[in-house]
Structure 1
Amino acid sequence: MDKNMDKIINYINEGNYFLVTSHVNPDGDNIGSTLSMYYYLKSINKEVYYVLDDDTPINLKFLLEDIEILSSEEFIKLNLEEFNLIALDCGDLNRICIDKTLIENAKKLICIDHHASNDNYGDFNYVVPEESSTCELVYNLFKKINEKENTQVIDKKIATALYTGVVTDTGKFTYSNTHPSTFDMAKDLLILGAETNKVICEVYGNNPYNYYKLLGEALNTLDIINTKIAVITLTQDMLSRNHVSFKDTDGITPYCRDIENVEVGILVKEKSSNEIKISLRSKNYVDVSHIAKMFNGGGHVRAAGLTVFNETIENATKMVVAETLKYI
């Protein structure tokens, strides 16, 4: 991986114009890794644009208060003759959350990611599925730059962005993807000025009242199957009734898994009448990425997701539960 990092560092140093982006349905690692790369490129006087065709969850907006995120349409209007694309935390080329023409027209595509499903789709790839988060990979890259150039890349803003990504992707350092290197990273970021208390308060301690009304209603749908599978369902009516955006519901997912004897938690979310998003979480032995792949989804061993199109929420649930039972 050292050679891969060196190639990326050298190419970034040679380039001038960069577009940074990530996957659909932004999360902490998505925004933390993309934002930290954006700040770094700015610091070395590169022309950089943060482009994402999706909304930001309310609990992550604090990271982006001074950042302009462009839509693909807005970026295209800039009429840049040449640009390089850096895709962070995106395990699949098709999940990059920008217009496909931008992917096709980029001079080079740099992929930095930790999803096991990643097939190294970039021209330059730094992909390590064993790492806790893409933010940890970006942190490693910045440490490499520090060593090569005898400088300190990580300032307070970058440290805070990276800390947000590693905290959220490890479930506050409780998931099995947390390694000794993860704690070393967190310690270093704290020393470098990461606003750790702000991150915890904003991400986990600032949910609106309506979110808890929705959570109560969602928990009433809880269904336990064969003692090992727990399913919670969120419908469009529930979201509308409680005035909660679809993108602000990821915090409900752990409630499916964190039940005595349950191995796999399934959160079923109705995004529209013909699009059902399903999040999978496991505790000990089920690799939920295999289940997700059966429905053209993907992710990690203990956390994965998929989308079912043109099915009712009931049928989509039955299909995924039936597949999950094969692994129990």
Structure 2
Amino acid sequence: MSNKDKPQRRATSFDVARVAGVSRAAVSRAFTPDASVSPKTREKIYQAAKELGYRVNYVARSLTNQRSDLVGLVVAGLDNPFRSLQIEYLARALLLRNFRPILLPTSKEADTSAVIGQLLHYPVSGVIVTSDAPPTEICEQCAAEGVPIVLINKGDDIPFVDRIISDDRTAGHLAADHLIDIGCKRLAVMAASSVSYTARRRSDVFLSRSRQRGVEAQLITVRVNDYRCGFESAPELGALSADGVFCVNDYMACGVIDRLAANRGSPDVPPIRIVGHDDIPQAQWDAYGLTTILQPCDLQAEQTVEMLVSRMANSDMTARVEFTPVELIKRKTS
């Protein structure tokens, strides 16, 4: 076998140190966030690493330090555009704090023990669990392993497990007040409230607020808070003679809008004002122009990562809850 046919040896930190003319410890500090190294030395090391094609082996480093830069993201409902946006901002926020996210897709029907097994095979520094993902067993096992964890939009009250929750109370008030203020007299809220903590909170507050304002409101129960269920359940609005509806997420609201558009002119589907929740990118499209409640993914991600980092620093703190503020965004549907 000729030299050119031989597999190339991967460059090591020793190689970088030799080329840069520094110690191996200096190389390690140069690639460690916030470590002390002069700008001139760091630049020499980065240039040598670039020439050699050197990359830091974070897994090997984690074995040495007994801690990694890895953070698990346990996620379900990736078909929902909001979830994709939420994960994008969480990943960005983690990277800004020098963590590396590991995405673990799951579902309510998934074998939670398998998810836990996959997660704890890695020396993760923390775990973030989003809404719709099954949390309880994951939280209990991670806590037993001493792994910090933060839940997003989850109702589970678990010792030493922190939560970030969108301000669903304000969201329900905003939706009801807006529809009533523009003249709606017969309201409905569409939600799979039995399977979703946020859907239940938003729909309950909406119904309560409508009653306080002296306006009739009905709950349309769907199986899942998704586009298909919104599309399939839209005719029930006509059966209720509703003139205003709050869909507990935009994904479902888009399904309602498309079904109403398909049946425009039918006596079974009267004109109706619509409010969603989340402000997904599609809500801004001309085809929808959806009035909605903004749940700011960027702020929520910052809150989540900040809470996770503080939990890493002090694992014995009592469980905390922090709310993400929301805002009404008015467009053409109401």
TM-score if structure 1 supplies the norm length? 0.28
**RCO greater where, 1 or 2, for CA within 8 Å and sep 6 or more?**
2
